[in-house]
Structures are given as structure tokens and as C-alpha cells.
Amino acid sequence: MPPDWGRCVLTIGVFDGVHRGHAQLISRAVKSAAVRGVPSVLMTFDPHPMEVVRPGSHPAQLSTLTRRAELVEELGIDVFCVMPFTHDFMKLTPGRYVHDLLVEKLHVTEVVIGDNFTFGKKAAGTVETMRELGSRFGFEVDGVKLVGEHAVTFSSTYIRACVDAGDMAAAADALGRPHRVEGVVVHGDKRGRELGFPTANIAPPMHAAIPADGVYACWFTVLSPGATVGTTMPGKRAMAAVSVGTNPTFSGRSRTVEAYVLDADIDLYGQYVAVDFVEHVRGQRKFASVDDLIKAMNRDVEYTRKVLSSS
């Protein structure tokens, strides 16, 4: 049966990180859409609602909109819909929210949401509100219990806390993959090259969730077309030891993300890249001498190679 593009199964949320809990919601929506013979639609928001509700309170961002679109497409979503979250949108009552957007614009036949989902002015709408409105306007509502393990509920808030603490294993467990930071490679102080470890100084987007200061074993991927890292083409990952912090040995002040890509020495300036954080290697510290720092960096590289070779 060809899809009925006049109707859809919709799932709604910020979906920052597209973690395992989100994946369950998306799976439910995709399966229901297939049974009904209609498209599956995921609606997210930009900017983050918190930035509009309380300016200056934008939470650390686990994934860019582009990354979210890629991840939900991999999970089978047909349409990725980004709703501008404005002051006018924020003021919609739950009834207007559902009638004007879900019914009149999207023609929903079913809405799949987490059981903690709220919507409309002052977050007055709940799953039960959505069910009542669904009965009035003729669509079904699937309220999905949040996913978790070992008394921990997987949520973007929980994952941000893991990233902020440098616990990349816990973050990856909740995400279903390593936490990723993307950005453009910019010019730094070039100190790494002088030490024998030329690094790519990555400038992440505003609000990006950056792990705690320290050294990490990471996968490095060039996302820009037409560039190579050694023998690795764009989209293919390479091993990297990544330092996050202020370079205390040199009394640095600016917090940076610097990636030393193993077995490669090419010009990456201007390239858009991704770093997937696999394991915390050590905390950042101030060394007594440059020689001590170089010895530690050599150990970091060998440990990174060992970790990633077995992953």
C-alpha cells in the first residue's frame, strides 16, 4: 500500500542526543506508521525551548540539528520537521497547539510521546490532555514509558551530567553510541607541532556539550567533502588522542578541544570534523617540565591506540 501523504504518525520532542529513550519512541512511531501505511514524522524545536522560556538558560547541546536529522533517518523516520520555537508558539494553549499544528497542519492519525511529555502555554498539556484532545479531533495517542537501566532513566539531562563529569562510558551507554562533538578546525597556538604532536584545534558550535577537562581516546572523522586524514577519506574514522582544557603546563586560559590524529600529518584547517569520545584516559594536570608533558603525551597516544584497536 503506498503511503497516504495526507496523514501521518507523529512523535514530538527536543530529541537532543537521540538517545536510547528517544530511539524507543521513534521505533514505536515508525512501526505504527508502517502498519497504517502513512509517513512517520518527527517534530523537534529550534532554538531549544528553555532558551525562549528563560533566556540564557540554554542547556549544553548533545547534538546539532544536522546530526539529529542523520540519526533519526537511520532509525527510519520519513520526515524530520523543525518547528521554530518562538514567543508566539510558546503562548499557544494546549488546545490551539493540537488543533492548529497537529490537526490542521500535520493531519496526525497518531501521536507517540514520552509519558513525561508536556506542551502548550506554561507546559499545561500532559499525555492525558493529549489523549482528551485526540478523542475530540480523531487521532490516537501512544504514551511511552521512559527507558532506563539499573534505576537510571535515560534522558538528555542525565547524559549531559555524564559528559560534564567526563564519564564517557555512561554517556555512551545511554546514547547507544559515543558522545560526539563537531566543529571547524581553526588556528591555535601551534604548540602541539613544536612538541611533536600536531593537533587539530576544534571550535565547537555554541552550547555544545564538551566533556570535562582531560585526555580522551576518540574516533576522529572529517565530515567536509574532499579532505583526507592519512589514508582515511571523509566519513571514515581515524584514531585520535584528544585534550580538553586550558593547557595548564603553559598557563593557558582559554578552554580548547585539541585532537592529535594518529598516523596522520596533514593540513586540516577549515575542515568540519567530528570527535567521538570513547574513553577518559586521564585528568588534565600541570607538568613540572615540557619533557614530562611529552612523556605523558606518548603514553596517552599508546593507550589511545590500545583502547581503540580493541573497540
C-alpha closest to that of 268 among 218, 308, 211, 230: 230
- Burial status of residue 121 (CB atoms within 10 A of its CB: 0-12, 13-18, 19 or more): middle
Alpha-carbon distance of 206 to 255, in angstroms, equals: 13
How many C-beta neighbours within 10 Å does residue 227 have? 18
Q: Is the dihedral of CA 85, 88, 93, 96 positive or negative?
A: negative
Q: How high is the mean pLDDT of the chain?
A: 91
Residues of the chain scoring pLDDT < 50:
1-2, 230-232
Q: What pLDDT is recorded for position 113?
A: 97
Entry pTM: 0.90
Radius of gyration (C-alpha) of the chain in whole angstroms: 22
Which residues, other chains included, contact 187 with Cβ-Cβ below 8 Å and sequence gap of 6+? Answer: 201, 269
Pairing of the two strands 79-84 and 40-46: parallel
Written as one letter, the residue type at 31 is K
| 195-236 pLDDT tens trace | 888 999 999 999 999 999 999 999 999 998 755 554 445 568
- pLDDT given for residue 1 in this prediction: 44
- Cell 613544536 belongs to residue: 194
- Give the integer Cα–Cα distance in Å for 205 and 63: 10
Q: What is the pLDDT of residues 157-191, one digit of tens each?
A: 999 999 999 999 999 999 999 999 999 999 877 77
**CA separation for the pair 294, 297 (Å, rounded):** 5
**What is the pLDDT, as a whole number, of residue 2?**
47
Helix (H) or strand (E) holding 109: strand 108-114
- Is the CB of residue 142 less than 8 Å from the CB of residue 117? no
User: What phi and psi, each to the nearest 5 degrees, are found at residue 147?
Assistant: -90, 145
pLDDT attached to residue 168: 98
The pLDDT, as a whole number, for residue 231 is 45
Q: Is 18 left (phi over 0), alpha (psi -120 to 50) or beta?
A: left
Domains in the chain, please, with CATH?
8-144 (3.40.50.620), 179-310 (2.40.30.30)
